[in-house]
């Protein structure tokens, strides 16, 4: 059960049961223990005297399988079955649970397993050694005679459950350098089993999401938001809302971004919100429409780029292109997209008796929740506890640089007398129209081929709204004016092209740009991989062969990319005869240090209507810790990429978002795609992420298959804009 374990409750439970023993790292990053309520550590694994092994999950579970993956690391070193592990989510504690890649506690960039791989195994290996040493001491035998398996220590003619040794182990020195099992000894890592730890709670209705918090006396808040992006409240009238049973009050947000309707129930809050009459000030609001914004992007990619985003400059690429036997040129457009996780956003603040609060949140970034609550509520951080719940999907949306919904929640609470819990609940309409999107981008690529069909020059221009620039994360992601999230995948790509230039122009966009599953790769892969097919066709070379030709050399990057390309092609039967009316398309892309190639098989009827028959994927993510979770993530990533590419877009009319819910922001359905096969490349490299890398190649593989079927290339997403019809 993922009940939250705040630091305080960990200590409490430690006191209550006598001997709870936890191992993790201390503030210097060294392996350390905490026993019987002592110690200032970040626990990764906890033992109870009854022999229960609990893994402390420092990254939240939003469907990506982290709880299972991190537990597998612990189970491995303790020689126990994954099914016998219990897990809890970690308390919010920036210093203690810092994601090694971010420097603050959070989940993103497909990093959970990558950054925990050593930490969690080392903690469990130390635990194993301490338990064995304790048993050896008790039995007067040499530790080398004893083994730990399935929570029982045996050897020297004896055996006993680990619970008996928890107290003694807690008193021992933590080994500074415990022996990690050799990969040849692994019995959990890499084992192909279906054993997700979160499945049981998610099939019987007991899993607790943010939306499911039901506290005594809580008020539910729904926010009436500006119909036009950037508008502010000038006045409001709640006369009609007062007639809604359960309505409590309406208050203008301190930042004037909306009016908050408080009610006894969610339904009453939604109704009261809808009944509010608000007068908006639009003097600083967005006035542009999508067509204008899109035309603006196309002007940008046809002009000299604002920033040089590659080592190669434009002049060098231009010279190379001038010498090409032929030039292939193509423009692409990608619309704004909402993340639309299945669970609309929300969270709850609960006041505590000591004047503090508990934040109940499916927290992608517990550290952000901690900071927001402590600043807006003017509380010291130790008065803010974060209860991390399951998240009903996120795709990046539960974390934004401005912590949007958490700030709203804090404001909704701070204006009250702080006696009642306050639950903020977004509607789907809030989500779709809210303006936090993968922003729109346009691309233009000019590729030069020599007479033999090799790429000898590549001029890639991208225009769009930067995601990190101007945020607190700018320092990490922006160099020389180039926001890496706008061009990632276009610049550092395993393909080797001479004279490879990338230019970038920033648009001052109307929306709040946010990382969306696979971030920049969500558009760069489509442009790159459709272009590779265009070039291959122009050169009259098989698309797989064409890609491999541009991955020559001994670089690990090239050989791993080539590896997934070959595997996907082989497993899909690339180049072999397909049933009448069936066609294959190919795409491959590296993102988050994971390599994925996908073959999409479509069928077309006599009218050219397309049906996706199957996707075959190959992934190289280093050591596959939990293979079936990896497959599930690749399946989901493919669906996310294809689903949006088929039909989804957001458009604006004079600053107002035209779509509002799933009837017009269309989502993938079971009849669109339900046959996916994923193959994992065996590897001894350190594990890399899988939450996002399945997404980038999915849409271009489909686009290339549609071209093979004699239909147009999808250069403007969604594909329906290119005259492509789906069954």
Partner 1 sequence: MTISLTVNDEDVSVTAPPDTPLLWVLRDELKLTGTKYGCGIAQCGACTVRLDGSAVRSCQVAIGDAEGASVVTIEAANDAEAQAVKQAWRELDVVQCGFCQSGQIMQAADLLAQHPRPSDDVIDTVMGGNACRCATYARIRAAIHRAADILEG
Residues binding ligand FES (CB under 6 A): 63, 342, 393
Give least dist CB 636 to partner 1, A.
5
Closer residue to partner 1, CB minimum distance, 268 or 705? 268
Interface residues with partner 1 (CB under 8 A) are 62-65, 194-196, 198-209, 211-212, 214, 220, 245, 265-267, 270, 340-344, 390-395, 427-428, 628-629, 632-633, 635-636, 638-640, 643, 661-663, 667-676
Give least dist CB 342 to partner 1, A.
4
Residue 643 interacting partner from ligand FES, partner 1, none (CB closer than 5 to 8 Å by kind): partner 1
Measured CA to CA, the distance from residue 366 to residue 386 in angstroms comes to 7
Closer residue to ligand FES, CB minimum distance, 320 or 338? 338
Residue 454 interacting partner from ligand FES, partner 1, none (CB closer than 5 to 8 Å by kind): none
Closer residue to partner 1, CB minimum distance, 7 or 521? 521
Closer residue to partner 1, CB minimum distance, 266 or 656? 266
Give least dist CB 553 to partner 1, A.
35
Closer residue to partner 1, CB minimum distance, 43 or 693? 693
Tokens of 294: 């899109």
Closer residue to ligand FES, CB minimum distance, 427 or 524? 427
Instruction: Select from 225, 253, 285 the least CA-distant residue to 410.
Output: 253
Residue at shortest CB range from ligand FES: 342
Closer residue to partner 1, CB minimum distance, 155 or 643? 643
Closer residue to partner 1, CB minimum distance, 78 or 676? 676
Measured CA to CA, the distance from residue 482 to residue 349 in angstroms comes to 38
Contact 541, 712 (CB under 8 A): no
Measured CA to CA, the distance from residue 583 to residue 116 in angstroms comes to 41
Q: How many residues in total does the chain contain?
A: 727
> Do the strands 652-653 and 147-149 form a parallel or antiparallel pair, or are they unpaired?
unpaired
Longest Cα pair distance anywhere in the chain, in angstroms? Answer: 83
- Paired with 437 in beta bridges are 338, 513
Give least dist CB 658 to partner 1, A.
16
Give least dist CB 221 to partner 1, A.
14
Residue 536 interacting partner from partner 1, ligand FES, none (CB closer than 5 to 8 Å by kind): none
- Work out whether the CA dihedral 98, 101, 106, 111 comes out positive or negative: negative
- Paired with 235 in beta bridges are 279
Measured CA to CA, the distance from residue 326 to residue 597 in angstroms comes to 27
> Do the strands 31-35 and 21-25 form a parallel or antiparallel pair, or are they unpaired?
antiparallel
Give least dist CB 485 to partner 1, A.
22
Measured CA to CA, the distance from residue 722 to residue 603 in angstroms comes to 17
Closer residue to partner 1, CB minimum distance, 510 or 643? 643
Closer residue to ligand FES, CB minimum distance, 63 or 513? 63
Closer residue to ligand FES, CB minimum distance, 64 or 119? 64
CA distance to 331, 459, 461, 509, per residue, from 297 (Å): 11, 17, 11, 10
Give least dist CB 602 to ligand FES, A.
24
Give least dist CB 212 to partner 1, A.
4
Closer residue to partner 1, CB minimum distance, 231 or 693? 693
The angle formed by the CA atoms of residues 628, 632 and 638, to the nearest 5 degrees, is 145
Contact 513, 522 (CB under 8 A): no
CA distance to 264, 270, 322, 457, per residue, from 250 (Å): 13, 12, 65, 61
Give least dist CB 441 to partner 1, A.
22
Give least dist CB 342 to ligand FES, A.
4
Give least dist CB 362 to ligand FES, A.
12
Measured CA to CA, the distance from residue 380 to residue 363 in angstroms comes to 20
Closer residue to partner 1, CB minimum distance, 83 or 159? 83
Residue 632 interacting partner from partner 1, ligand FES, none (CB closer than 5 to 8 Å by kind): partner 1
First-to-last CA distance in the chain? 42
Closer residue to partner 1, CB minimum distance, 195 or 407? 195
Give least dist CB 636 to ligand FES, A.
8
**3-class SS string, 219-246:** EEEEEEECCCCCCEEEEEECCCHHHCCC
Residue 21 interacting partner from partner 1, ligand FES, none (CB closer than 5 to 8 Å by kind): none
Instruction: Select from 440, 459, 438 the least CA-distant residue to 448.
Output: 459
Residue 280 interacting partner from ligand FES, partner 1, none (CB closer than 5 to 8 Å by kind): none
Give least dist CB 648 to ligand FES, A.
15
Tokens of 250: 């309406």
Residue 687 interacting partner from ligand FES, partner 1, none (CB closer than 5 to 8 Å by kind): none
Measured CA to CA, the distance from residue 410 to residue 394 in angstroms comes to 20
Residue 596 interacting partner from ligand FES, partner 1, none (CB closer than 5 to 8 Å by kind): none
Instruction: Select from 637, 648, 668 the least CA-distant residue to 334.
Output: 648
Contact 220, 246 (CB under 8 A): no
Closer residue to ligand FES, CB minimum distance, 95 or 342? 342
Alpha helices by DSSP H, 378-481: 404-414, 428-433, 474-477
CA distance to 402, 601, 616, 706, 713, per residue, from 574 (Å): 46, 10, 10, 15, 20
Give least dist CB 477 to partner 1, A.
26
Under 8 Å CB-to-CB from 356, ≥6 apart: which residues? 379, 382, 383, 384, 385
Residue 212 interacting partner from ligand FES, partner 1, none (CB closer than 5 to 8 Å by kind): partner 1
Under 8 Å CB-to-CB from 30, ≥6 apart: which residues? 176
Residue 639 interacting partner from partner 1, ligand FES, none (CB closer than 5 to 8 Å by kind): partner 1
Measured CA to CA, the distance from residue 567 to residue 680 in angstroms comes to 9
Give least dist CB 385 to partner 1, A.
21
Residue 10 interacting partner from ligand FES, partner 1, none (CB closer than 5 to 8 Å by kind): none
Measured CA to CA, the distance from residue 330 to residue 265 in angstroms comes to 53
Give least dist CB 682 to partner 1, A.
22
Instruction: Select from 451, 422, 254 the least CA-distant residue to 351.
Output: 422
- Cα 188–chain centre separation: 25
Residue 663 interacting partner from ligand FES, partner 1, none (CB closer than 5 to 8 Å by kind): partner 1
Three-state secondary-structure class, residue 123: helix
Residue 476 interacting partner from partner 1, ligand FES, none (CB closer than 5 to 8 Å by kind): none
Closer residue to partner 1, CB minimum distance, 427 or 593? 427
């Amino acid at each position: 059960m993922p009940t939250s374990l705040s630091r305080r409750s960990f200590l409490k439970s430690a006191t209550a049961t006598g001997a709870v023993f936890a191992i993790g790292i201390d503030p210097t990053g060294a392996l350390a223990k905490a026993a019987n309520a002592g110690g200032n550590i970040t626990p990764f694994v906890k033992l109870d005297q009854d022999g229960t092994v609990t893994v402390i999950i420092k990254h939240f579970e939003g469907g990506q399988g982290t709880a299972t993956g991190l537990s597998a690391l612990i189970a491995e070193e303790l020689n126990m079955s994954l099914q016998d592990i219990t897990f809890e989510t970690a308390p919010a504690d920036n210093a203690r649970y810092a994601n090694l890649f971010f420097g603050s506690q959070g989940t993103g960039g497909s990093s959970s397993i990558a950054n925990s791989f050593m930490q969690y195994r080392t903690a469990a290996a130390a635990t194993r050694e301490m338990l064995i040493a304790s048993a050896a001491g008790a039995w007067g035998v040499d530790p080398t005679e004893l083994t730990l398996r399935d929570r029982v220590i045996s050897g020297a003619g004896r055996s006993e459950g680990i619970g008996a040794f928890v107290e003694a182990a807690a008193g021992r020195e933590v080994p500074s350098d415990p022996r990690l099992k050799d990969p040849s000894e692994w019995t959990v890592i890499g084992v192909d089993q279906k054993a997700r730890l979160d499945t049981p709670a998610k099939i019987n209705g007991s899993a607790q999401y943010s939306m499911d918090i039901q506290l005594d006396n809580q008020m539910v808040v729904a926010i009436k938001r500006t119909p036009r992006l950037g508008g502010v409240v000038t006045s409001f009238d709640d006369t009609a809302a007062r007639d809604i049973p359960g309505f409590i009050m309406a208050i203008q947000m301190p930042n004037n971004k909306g009016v908050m309707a408080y009610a006894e129930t969610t339904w009453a809050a939604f109704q009261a919100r809808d009944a509010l009459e608000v007068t908006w000030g639009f003097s600083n609001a967005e006035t542009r429409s999508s067509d204008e914004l899109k035309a603006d992007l196309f002007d940008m990619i046809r002009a000299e780029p604002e920033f040089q985003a590659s080592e190669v400059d434009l002049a060098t690429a231009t010279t190379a292109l001038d010498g090409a036997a032929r030039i292939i040129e193509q423009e692409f457009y990608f619309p704004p997209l909402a993340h639309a996780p299945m669970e609309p956003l929300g969270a709850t603040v609960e006041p505590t008796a000591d004047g503090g609060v508990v934040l109940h949140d499916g927290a992608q970034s517990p550290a952000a929740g901690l900071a927001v609550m402590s600043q807006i509520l003017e509380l010291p951080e130790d008065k803010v506890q974060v209860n991390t719940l399951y998240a009903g999907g996120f795709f990046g949306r539960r974390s934004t640089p401005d912590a949007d919904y958490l700030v709203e929640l804090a404001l909704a609470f701070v204006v009250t007398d702080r006696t009642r819990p306050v639950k903020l609940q977004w509607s789907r309409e809030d989500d779709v129209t809210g303006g936090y999107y993968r922003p729109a981008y346009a691309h233009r690529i000019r590729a030069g081929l020599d007479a033999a069909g090799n790429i000898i020059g590549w001029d890639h221009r991208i225009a769009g709204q930067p995601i990190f620039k101007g945020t607190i994360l700018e320092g990490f992601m922006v160099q020389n004016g180039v926001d890496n999230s706008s061009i990632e995948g276009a610049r550092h790509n395993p393909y080797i092209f001479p004279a490879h230039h990338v230019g970038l122009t920033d648009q001052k966009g109307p929306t709040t740009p946010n990382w969306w599953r696979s971030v920049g790769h969500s558009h760069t892969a489509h442009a790159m991989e459709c272009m590779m097919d265009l070039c291959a066709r122009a050169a009259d070379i098989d698309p797989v062969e064409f890609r491999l030709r541009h991955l020559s050399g001994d670089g690990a990057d090239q050989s791993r990319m080539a590896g997934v390309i070959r595997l996907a092609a082989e497993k899909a039967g690339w180049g072999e005869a397909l049933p009448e009316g069936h066609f294959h398309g190919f795409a491959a892309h590296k993102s988050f240090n994971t390599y994925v190639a996908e073959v999409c098989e479509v069928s077309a009827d006599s009218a050219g209507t397309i049906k996706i028959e199957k996707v075959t994927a190959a992934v190289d993510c280093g050591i596959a810790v939990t293979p079936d979770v990896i497959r599930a993530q690749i399946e989901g990533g493919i669906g996310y990429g294809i689903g949006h590419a088929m039909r989804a877009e957001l458009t604006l009319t004079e600053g107002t978002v035209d779509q509002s819910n799933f009837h017009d922001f269309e989502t993938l359905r079971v009849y669109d795609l339900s046959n996916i096969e994923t193959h994992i490349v065996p590897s001894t490299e350190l594990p890399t992420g899988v939450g996002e890398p399945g997404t980038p190649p999915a849409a271009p593989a489909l686009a290339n298959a549609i071209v093979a079927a004699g239909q147009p290339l999808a250069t403007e997403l969604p594909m329906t804009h290119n005259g492509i019809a789906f069954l």
